[in-house]
Structure 1
Amino acid sequence: MSEVARTLGAAGKGLIQKWEGCAKKRKDGRFDAYPDPGSADGKPWTIGWGSTGADVKKGVIWTQAQCDARFDVDIQRYVREVATFLGTAPTSQAQFDALVSFHYNTGAIRSATLGQLHRAGRFDDAAAQFPRWNQNDGKVMDGLKARRADEAALYISSMPVAVRHPLPIATTDVRVVNAASGLNVRSKPSASATRLGALKRGTPVTVLHDAGDWVRFIYQGNEAWVNDQFLTPS
């Protein structure tokens, strides 16, 4: 798929900086690096506008100018990755900005069902995927819930007309159960369907078909369904 030249709009930059914040400001006006507040091990260490990398670790201090300059450099990579993934798929500026914000936070534009649904022209279904990305290290985070709501609102504010296509799922699409208490296996894609069993956290699931909210896979030799909300890409 060919790539279309795209740039991040003002709405996208504003949304990203709103939620990343330029955090841990010191009394002297500079900024300290800090551990990820939602992960069990504090990784990755972060500074400024959500910047991470080998050079960002405990004890690192940057000026505002350094934070701003690093953001300007880092964001180009995320813009490029999203543009490459989307190719020529019909995408409004608002949608592109929302997807870049999502990718900047999750790094999952290639693996997320959200991205695949967008490329297939299933914009309503794609928008419904944003709320599913509300966890960090298996825990629902209020900040992520609010950020996803902002991204979804921006995404649906301008949606082009597109021909819908079947959602392509590779045979090697493997996802992992992220629910701490386990994940119920159902006979049909519905929470009211017969419960066939449960999968423990960390169990890999090879997806045969992605229906948006539910995915079909083989369980004990038979086809079954689990809710995609509790799966993450492996």
Structure 2
Amino acid sequence: MTHKLGTAGAALIKKWEGCEKKRADGRFDAYPDPGSKDGKPWTIGWGSTGPDVKPGTIWTQAQCDARFDVDIVKYVEDVAMFLGAAPTTQAQFDALVSFHYNTGAIASATLGQMHKAGRFDDAADQFARWIYNDGKPMNGLKSRRADEAALYESAVPSCVKQPLPIATADVRVVNAGSGLNVRIGPSTGAAKLGALKRGAAVTVLEDTGDWVRITYQGRAAWVNDQFLTAA
């Protein structure tokens, strides 16, 4: 099945990316990521980033539109390749492309795995997990994820109505040489519960993008995902 981004998906992405920051002369300035500590990645137009986007970059509307048309091709191809032959409606595909355009996580997210397993209700619930930037919940991301989930749930493949297989466990391994701190919440400011040694395997129960929820000594806990590798 050949997937293409639909009009609803393109409109949703552009709604939330916006075409920022417009100057008095009608052109657009590059701007820092509002949720990151160092401002990276610098962004312009419809959420475009890259080595050519940096402080002082200025584009016309035509340049912003043309770059979006180029950039979106990769995200559409990524999602289509990941899904393979998994039953997927146009609405679901559009929502997943919007999610991937914003997070780049279609292949690693529990959301994607649940969709491929046909667990559409569970997959829809996963959108709300991805609301964090640099460990902090963002109101804009909450609203975007709600829109993506609504689009995703607007249609369900008719061929998937029977009991469905359960997705395989998301097991990851600690790759930090000095070990990995385990905390009570998804933030470096949250209290520390303990630490995991390099090579320790954990089962991910929730993935917010920067942090994942696990069970540690019988209680809910969080670790930073950048120090984990898929098992």
| TM-score tier (shorter) | 0.7 to 0.9
Change (3 A) 1:145 1:170: closer
Q: Is 1:167–1:210's contact at 8 Å kept on the other side of the alignment?
A: no
Aligned to 1:167: 167
Aligned residue-pair number: 211
1:24-48 alpha-carbon deviations (Å, 9 max, x no partner): 0000000001110110000000000
Asked if 1:38 corresponds to 2:12, the answer is no
1:211 CA drift (Å): 8.2
Cα distance in 2, alignment partners of residues 136 and 227 from structure 1: 19
Query: Unpaired segments of 5 or more residues in structure 1?
Result: 184-196
Match of 2:187 among 179, 191, 213: 179
1:81 CA drift (Å): 0.1
Aligned to 2:120: 123
Q: Is 2:171–2:204's contact at 8 Å kept on the other side of the alignment?
A: no
Cα distance in 1, alignment partners of residues 103 and 199 from structure 2: 20
1:124-203 matched pairs, under 5 angstroms: 124-160=121-157, 161-162=159-160, 164-169=164-169, 171-172=171-172, 178-182=186-190, 198-199=193-194
Match of 1:226 among 216, 220, 231: 220
Q: Is 2:172–2:204's contact at 8 Å kept on the other side of the alignment?
A: no
Cα distance in 1, alignment partners of residues 2 and 61 from structure 2: 30
Change (3 A) 1:170 1:139: closer
1:128 CA drift (Å): 0.5
1:54-88 alpha-carbon deviations (Å, 9 max, x no partner): 11101110000000000000001000000000111
1:168 CA drift (Å): 1.9
How does the TM-score come out when normalised to structure 2? 0.81
Cα distance in 1, alignment partners of residues 56 and 38 from structure 2: 17
Match of 2:68 among 57, 67, 71: 71
Cα distance in 2, alignment partners of residues 199 and 132 from structure 1: 24
Secondary structure of 2:2's counterpart equals coil
Cα distance in 1, alignment partners of residues 123 and 98 from structure 2: 15
1:5 CA drift (Å): 1.3
Aligned to 2:23: 26
Cα distance in 2, alignment partners of residues 90 and 174 from structure 1: 33
Change (3 A) 1:50 1:92: same
Aligned to 2:202: 207
Percent identity over paired residues: 60
Secondary structure of 1:145's counterpart equals helix
Cα distance in 1, alignment partners of residues 96 and 89 from structure 2: 11
1:180 CA drift (Å): 3.6
**4+ residue runs over 6 A deviation:** 211-215
Cα distance in 2, alignment partners of residues 174 and 84 from structure 1: 27
Change (3 A) 1:174 1:129: farther
Asked if 1:111 corresponds to 2:105, the answer is no
1:69-120 alpha-carbon deviations (Å, 9 max, x no partner): 0000000100000000011111100000000000000001011110101011
Q: Is 1:31–1:61's contact at 8 Å kept on the other side of the alignment?
A: yes
The amino acid of 2:148's aligned partner reads E
The amino acid of 1:154's aligned partner reads L
Aligned to 2:92: 95
